[in-house]
Structures are given as structure tokens and as C-alpha cells.
Amino acid sequence: MSIDSLPPLRDVIRDHGLSALKSLGQNFLLDLNLTSKIARTAGRLDGLTVIEVGPGPGGLTRAILALGARRVIAIERDARCVAALAEVAAHYPERLEVIEGDALQTDYRALLVPDERAIVIANLPYNVGTPLLVGWLSADPWPPWYESLTLMFQREVAERIVAAPGDDHYGRLAVLTGWRAQAHIAFDVPPSAFVPPPKVTSSVVHIVPRPAPLSCSLKALERVTEAGFGQRRKMLRQSLKSLGVDTGALLEAAGIAPTERAERVTVEGFVALANEWVAMRRAGADQDVSVASS
């Protein structure tokens, strides 16, 4: 049974000449049971505002609307898809707004009424998935403008998002995600579910922001994880040298063994490193000032 009385997605694609463009990461989902499963992963939608990135021919958009979202704001770069979505907008009057634009350049907070928080659901274009996620996790102010993110990534990227210390995929993305949010892989989607099929398996990841992450400067956290994972197999007393402070003292202050490697340090450990690094640099700058003025 169809979720709405709109034409099958194959007809939409044919009628609007939506040949998939690799440059826009276009791998479309045509099975409305699958798009409904993705939309349901986000939780209750009725009465809520959903932001969708890259609606394409509208398979996921239709599922989100059928599940009762009050308002869907869909951002799409491809003008051909924007035209194809007009029929969906007409079927759900006043509920679907399609913006032709680049999701990387979008001011999401400006799309919402003050204090409103959106649910984000997207089958992301693979070429911009990671930068989009990093931008959303770096939102300022925090808590962010979204209540949750339900996103399709390549399986390998999904593993880098949810990895724990000691996992092969543990790195900067897992530390940023773990600091600001809780994330898990909801389910995998085989290449055969997409048109055209990508080369690899995909995964739907569900991410819920922490209301109060451990206190830490984002820039400092980025800097220490960049240094640590830049030489992930080296001991931290060596890999952190580019931070320009006494690495032995830094690691001791953060309560981490100098022989430890980045791939085994917890999110809490990196937050401690970032905070101690800021404190040491501040103390160093104060000393410079007092030497200069004496």
C-alpha cells in the first residue's frame, strides 16, 4: 500500500528527467517502506518541524510528511528536483517549503522561529555529509537549533561517527560527536536500495545532542585532537609536541599517561587535555606579559 496517492517515484524521475548526477551525490531511494523506516528512526514527527537536506525526487520527504510533520523545510541544490517536488507540496498544502540552495551555506537557525528546534532527517549526498555533520556539531550557541539528526552516511563514515576508544575508526569525528552528542547506528542499507546503487553499504545514524556537554573550547578540542590523531600511532608525549607547551606537564595535568596513544584516549580525556592546554597557554602568556613589564 502506498503512503500517499502521489505518482510512483520512478514516474517522477522519468517525467522530470532526473538522471542521477554524481557531482551532487545523487543516489535516490525509491522504496517508500524504506524511507518510512528512516523517517520513523527520528521518533515522533507529528506537529514538529523537520529540516531535510537534499530531498531529490522526494521519497524521504513524502514519508516525513505522511508521518505527520507539521512543516518540512527541504534544501536542495538541484533545480530539476525542486520542480519535481512541486506536486508533493501541492498534495500537502502549507506543509512543504522547498528552498533551492546549498546546505553547506544555509543559516538553519534563521529558518526557524525563535526558540524552535527542528528534527533533521536526510539521505545525505556523500560528498558533503561529513562537513555538514561537523558544522552541525560545532553549532554555537549550544544547545543547537536541532533536537536530533537522523542521517544516512556511507557505513565507513557512520563507523567513524560512533566509534569508541580503541576501535579502528576512532578519531577526531568520534571525539567531536561524543563530546556534544550521543550517536548510534540504527540500521544498514544495502547498495541495491538506491538508484543508482553506490559501491558501498550505507548506514542510518541517529544523533541526539547532549544538553550540557563537558565545558570545553571547541577550537582547543579541535587543536588537541588534530595534534593527537595527526600521528595516531605515536605516544602522546611525542604527537602533542606541535601544541607548543611542555607535553609532559600537559599530560600530567590532564591525568593521562605520557606513553598513551590518541586512539585510546576517551572523550573526557581529550576535554581535559584541551582545558589544560588552554590554561597552560594562558599562564605562559601571563608570564610573558609580566617579564616584559618588569
- Sequence-distant (6+) residues with CB within 8 A of 185 are 158, 159, 162, 203, 204, 205
Does residue 177 interact with ligand SAM by CB under 6 A? no
Q: Give residue 109's region: left, alpha or beta (phi > 0; psi -120 to 50).
A: alpha
By CB under 6 A, which span of 25-33, 62-70, 113-121, 238-246 interacts with ligand SAM? 25-33
Question: Sign of torsion, CA 42 138 142 106?
Answer: negative
Does residue 247 interact with ligand SAM by CB under 6 A? no
What is the x/- site pattern for ligand SAM, positions 84-123, by CB under 6 A?
------------------xxx------------------x
Q: Which of 13, 67, 128, 186 lies at the binding interface for ligand SAM (CB under 6 A)?
A: 128
In the region spanning residues 58 to 87, those forming contacts with ligand SAM, defined by CB under 6 A, are: 59-60, 75-78, 81
CA pair distance 191, 28, nearest whole angstrom: 11
Does residue 29 interact with ligand SAM by CB under 6 A? yes
Does residue 55 interact with ligand SAM by CB under 6 A? yes
Q: Which of 3, 16, 24, 111 lies at the binding interface for ligand SAM (CB under 6 A)?
A: 24
Cis peptide before 141 (omega within 30 of 0): yes
Minimum CB separation of residue 25 from ligand SAM in Å reads: 5
Minimum CB separation of residue 104 from ligand SAM in Å reads: 5
CA nearest to 72, candidates 84, 61, 63, 58: 61
CA pair distance 241, 158, nearest whole angstrom: 30
Strands (E), the chain: 28-29, 49-53, 71-76, 96-100, 118-123, 146-154, 181-189, 194-195, 202-209
Is 15 among the annotated ligand-binding positions? Answer: no
By CB under 6 A, which span of 50-58, 248-256, 266-274, 285-293 interacts with ligand SAM? 50-58
Binding-site size, ligand SAM (CB under 6 A): 23
Is 27 among the annotated ligand-binding positions? Answer: yes
Q: Which is nearer to ligand SAM, 81 or 273 (CB)?
A: 81
Q: Which three cell numbers stand for residue 92?
A: 500537502
Q: 202 φ, ψ to 5°?
A: -115, 165
Given the rule CB under 6 A, which residues bind ligand SAM? 24-29, 53-56, 59-60, 75-78, 81, 102-104, 123, 125, 128
